[in-house]
Structure 1
Amino acid sequence: MLSPAALRPLILGLLLCTVTSGSIASGRANNLVIEEVVVTGKRPGPPLWQVTKGDHTLWLFGTPRLIPKSLNWDSASVDWMISQSHRYIAPPQVMAQTSNPIKAMGVMRDLAKLKRLPKGLDLETVVGAPLYRDLVVAVEPLNLKPAKLSRLRPMFAAEKIQEQGLKVAGLRVSERIERTLQKMVKRHDVPVIETTSHASIDEMLDVLSTIPMESEIACLATTVDSIRTDLAAASSRALAWAEGDVTALQKLNYPDVNASCSRGIYNTPSAAALRVKTRRIWLEAAMDSLATFPTTFASLPIEELVRSDGLLSDLRQRGYQVRGQ
C-alpha cells in the first residue's frame, strides 16, 4: 500500500483552510540569525475543547502543524480522556494509495520526474536572475547550497527550503503527536470513526503536473520571502502549543503564507471538491457522534479550533455548545 511522502503536502493542503509554513526569520535574509527552539522537561500541550449536545460530549484536542524537535509531550490527561470515550473520530484526510507493487514503482518514478525540470532547464533560467539572487541570499543561513535546488521545479525547491528551515530552527512536522494518539486509541480499544476521502494516485499526479509554471514561480517567491518573515512566528506557535498557552494560540496569526503555492494546487476543480468533501465527512461524523454516544474524542489541527472559519466554528454556528477555550 502506497501513500507517497511527496504527495503529503498536497494531501494535507486539500483538507485544511490554511497551510502554514515552516520558515523562520528576523530581519533580511543576509542578516538572518536563526535560534534553535529547545524545550526541556515534559510539556502538556493545550487543554481540550468541549462540544456538547444535551448530555453528550465531544472532546477536541488540537494538534500542531509544527513542534519543537526536543518536545517531550505529557499526554497523561489526554490518555485518560481517550480511555473514557466511546468513539474516536480520526482527523480528516485525503488518501491516495495503491496496493499494486508495480503501480507503486511507476508512481515513484512519475513523482521523481515531476519534481525535476525538463532536460536543458535549470532553476535560475526558469525563475529569472532577480528571484534567484534572492534565493541564494535566503538559503545561506539555512546551510542549503543553491546547487541542490538547481534541477528542481520551483514548487519543489520551495518545499526543500521549508524543510531545511524547519531543521535549522529545531522544529519538525508533528506527525509524532498523531501517532501517539493512535496508539492510545488502540491500547484502550476505542472504536475509530474514519473521516477519509479517497482519491486515485493518477488524479493526484494530474493535479501536480498541470500546475502552471507561473504559479510555481510565485510559490517559490513567497517561500523565499517567508524565510525573512515567518520562522519566528512558526517558533512562537510551536512553543505556545507545547506550553498549552491557549491565549497565545488564539492571538497568534495563522496566515496562509504559502497562498501562492496552495492557490495553484487547490483551485483545481478536483482538489477543491476533495477538500469540501473531506470537511463535510468530518462534520457529519462529529454531529452523528454527538447524537449517538455519551462521550467522543477527536483530534483536529489546532487552527481548526482557534480560527473563526475552522471546523469548531462550524459546530458552534450549527447550535452546539462550545466550552473551555
Structure 2
Amino acid sequence: MKRSMRICAALVLLAGVCGPLDAQEAGDDAGPVRDLETLVVSGVQPGPGLWKVSTGSGHVMWVLGTVSPLPRRMEWEAREVGGVIAGAQEVMLAPGIDIDADVGFFGGLALAPRLMRARRSPDGRRLEEVLSPGEYARWSTLKRQYIGGDRGIEKWRPMFAAARLYQEAVEDVGLRTRGVVTPVVEDLARDHGVTVSRPMVELKIEDPKAAISEFSAAEIDDLACFSKTLDRVQDDLGYMRERANAWAVGDIEGLRSIPFQPFEDCEQAWASVQALSDRVGDLRAQRDALWLKEVDRVLANNRVTLALLPMEELFRPDGLAASLQARGYRVEAPGEYDAASPMDAPTPDDGVAPPAG
C-alpha cells in the first residue's frame, strides 16, 4: 500500500517536532532570561464570531478566522459554528499546500535518513561558527530557557534550529499550535453528514531522493529567518498569549489590536532553495488563487458554506478577505451584519440556520 511522502512538511517537522540527531546532553549553565508569565485562559470557551461573505443570490459563506497558537488547556465550545454546519451544504477547511512523492511505505522509510540529514548544516559547521557572536549568545540564552542541553541541535541549519526553539517556547507558555479547531469542525461536519473539502495545492515530487539530496547540499539564506524567529521568541510570546486569549473569548477588537508577526523571512528562505523552487514555483500565489476559485464555486452552488481561514487574511488590507471584496463579494465582520436579516432567516424547506446574535 502506497502513501504520500510530504517533503516540505517532513523537513519542517524535523526541525520543530522530532528529537535531535544526537543524544541530549546536560551541563549548560543557567543564564539570564526574562520570566514570562504563562497565564492563559482554560476551560470551555466560545471562540470568535463569524465573518459573513455573501452574494446577491442569497448564498452565504460563513468564515471562522483561526489563529495559532491557541491555549493548550482550552476546550472550544463551537456552538455557533455547530449551528451553521447543521444547515450547511459544505465545510471548507483552511487552504493548504501538499507536496508529496508517491514512494510507497518502504520507500518512505528509506528516505527518512536522508530527511534527518537534510536539517544538518551541509558543510558541517556548528551554529557558533555560522552566527555572529551576539546572535549566538542570544541563541544560547533562549536555548537554555526552552530546549535545554541539547548539543546535537548545534549542528542544524539555523532555520531548523529556530523552528525547534519556537515550538518549544510556545508549548512552554501554555499554548499549542494544532488540534484545537479543525478536529472539532471535522467532527461536527461528520455528525451532520456535511461534505468537507479543503483547497489544497497538490504538487508531486517525481524524484524525491534527488530533491532531498539537492536540498541537503544547498546554501540557504536563512539567517534573517533565524534572527526574526529569535525576535518572536524574545518579544512576541506575550502577544501570542494575548492573541490566543482574545480568540478564545471571542474578542475581535482585541485581535485586531494585537500585531501579527508573519513568517515572511522564513518563507523567503524556503523560496531561495533552488531544489524546491524549480519544482514547485510560487506556492503562496497558487494557494491563494485556488482558494478564491473554490470560494466562487461554493458561493455559486451552496446556500450555506462554513469556511476556515487564518485570521490575518481577514484583517490584512491585502489579505484574502480584501481579494473577495475586490471580486464583488460583500464581506462583513462579526457585529456588522444583521443576524436576523431575511437573507439569513431559514425557510421551512431550506434548513438554513444563521449564527445567533
TM-score tier after normalising by the smaller chain length: 0.7 to 0.9
Decide whether the 8 Å contact of 1:46 with 1:242 is kept in 2.
Answer: yes
Q: Which TM-score applies when normalising by structure 2?
A: 0.78
C-alpha displacement at 1:40, in angstroms?
Answer: 2.8
The match for 1:19 is: none
C-alpha displacement at 1:8, in angstroms?
Answer: 6.2
1:175 and 1:303, CA in 2 relative to 1: closer, same or farther beyond 3 A? farther
**Is residue 88 of structure 1 aligned with residue 112 of structure 2?**
no
1:116 and 1:307, CA in 2 relative to 1: closer, same or farther beyond 3 A? same
The match for 2:230 is: 224
Residue 152 of structure 1: which of 145, 153, 156 is its match? 156
Question: What number of residue pairs does the alignment pair up?
Answer: 306
**Separation of aligned partners in 2, 1:146 and 1:10:** 18
1:159 and 1:208, CA in 2 relative to 1: closer, same or farther beyond 3 A? farther
The match for 1:190 is: 194
Secondary structure (helix, strand or coil) at the match of 2:190 reads helix
C-alpha displacement at 1:118, in angstroms?
Answer: 4.0
Q: Which TM-score applies when normalising by structure 1?
A: 0.85
1:324 and 1:154, CA in 2 relative to 1: closer, same or farther beyond 3 A? closer
Between 115-124 and 222-231, the greater mean CA deviation after superposition: 115-124
Decide whether the 8 Å contact of 1:43 with 1:74 is kept in 2.
Answer: yes
C-alpha displacement at 1:148, in angstroms?
Answer: 4.3
Decide whether the 8 Å contact of 2:7 with 2:99 is kept in 1.
Answer: no
Decide whether the 8 Å contact of 2:11 with 2:115 is kept in 1.
Answer: no
C-alpha displacement at 1:127, in angstroms?
Answer: 2.3
Residue 273 of structure 1: which of 270, 273, 282 is its match? 282
Residue 180 of structure 1: which of 181, 184, 205 is its match? 184
Unmatched 5+ stretches in structure 1: 12-28
Decide whether the 8 Å contact of 1:208 with 1:265 is kept in 2.
Answer: no
The match for 1:49 is: 51
Residue 36 of structure 1: which of 20, 35, 38 is its match? 38
In structure 1, give the amino acid aligned to 2:247. Answer: W
1:169 and 1:320, CA in 2 relative to 1: closer, same or farther beyond 3 A? same
Q: How does 1:1-325 map to 2 (within 5 A)?
A: 1-4=3-6, 7=9, 30-54=32-56, 55-97=58-100, 98=102, 100-118=104-122, 120-145=124-149, 147-201=151-205, 202=208, 205=212, 208-209=215-216, 212-213=219-220, 215-256=221-262, 258-266=263-271, 268=277, 271-325=280-334
In structure 1, give the amino acid aligned to 2:34. Answer: L
**Separation of aligned partners in 1, 2:36 and 2:211:** 35
1:204 and 1:82, CA in 2 relative to 1: closer, same or farther beyond 3 A? farther
Secondary structure (helix, strand or coil) at the match of 1:253 reads coil
C-alpha displacement at 1:210, in angstroms?
Answer: 6.8
**Separation of aligned partners in 2, 1:9 and 1:251:** 33
Looking at CA atoms only, which structure, 1 or 2, has the larger radius of gyration?
2
Secondary structure (helix, strand or coil) at the match of 1:313 reads helix
Secondary structure (helix, strand or coil) at the match of 1:150 reads helix
Unmatched 5+ stretches in structure 2: 14-30, 335-357
**Separation of aligned partners in 2, 1:74 and 1:9:** 34
C-alpha displacement at 1:143, in angstroms?
Answer: 4.8
1:289 and 1:164, CA in 2 relative to 1: closer, same or farther beyond 3 A? same
**Separation of aligned partners in 1, 2:11 and 2:291:** 20
Secondary structure (helix, strand or coil) at the match of 1:230 reads helix
- Stretches (4+) displaced over 4 A: 3-6, 8-11, 203-211, 269-272
Q: Which has the larger helix fraction?
A: 1
Higher relative contact order (CA 8 A, sep 6+): 1
| Identical-residue share of aligned pairs (%) | 26
Between 306-315 and 145-154, the greater mean CA deviation after superposition: 145-154
**Separation of aligned partners in 2, 1:72 and 1:218:** 36
The match for 1:21 is: none
**Separation of aligned partners in 1, 2:105 and 2:38:** 40
Please provide the CA RMSD for this pair: 2.6
C-alpha displacement at 1:99, in angstroms?
Answer: 5.9
1:272 and 1:311, CA in 2 relative to 1: closer, same or farther beyond 3 A? farther
